Amino acid sequence: MARIAGVDIPREKRVEISLTYIFGIGRTTANQVCQATDINPNTRVRDLTDEEVAKIRAYIDGNLKVEGDLRREVSQDIKRKIEINCLQGVRHRKGLPVRGQRTQTNARTRKG
């Protein structure tokens, strides 16, 4: 398995699919990474050379926020909203849906 951004990506899948195993990279971003590094997105990870894996790793480390950094930023944003007592912060604190979803029915997962 190739290890990129601290994640073992599966060897048998195509590059554009296997990059989505990294938190913060979806299909669109995976295609952008492949395009920027001149790698065919349909290539299997097992067929990549060490130089190609290094190019992908360097591009992701230099240009994208992924994994721990992204998770930390999201949690800090939520904490900041809770501290300034904005409506979204209050909803987070109460454990209710934050983005205007209805709660009279549904929202069972969030409400408990």
pLDDT in tens, 53-67: 999 999 999 999 999
Contact (CB, 8 A) for 28 and 37: no
Angle at the Cα of 32 (from 31 to 34), degrees rounded to 5? 65
Low-confidence residues of the chain: pLDDT under 50: none
Instruction: Say what the pTM is.
Output: 0.83
Which domains are delineated in the chain?
2-64 (1.10.8.50), 68-111 (4.10.910.10)
Q: Count CB-CB contacts under 10 A for residue 9.
A: 21
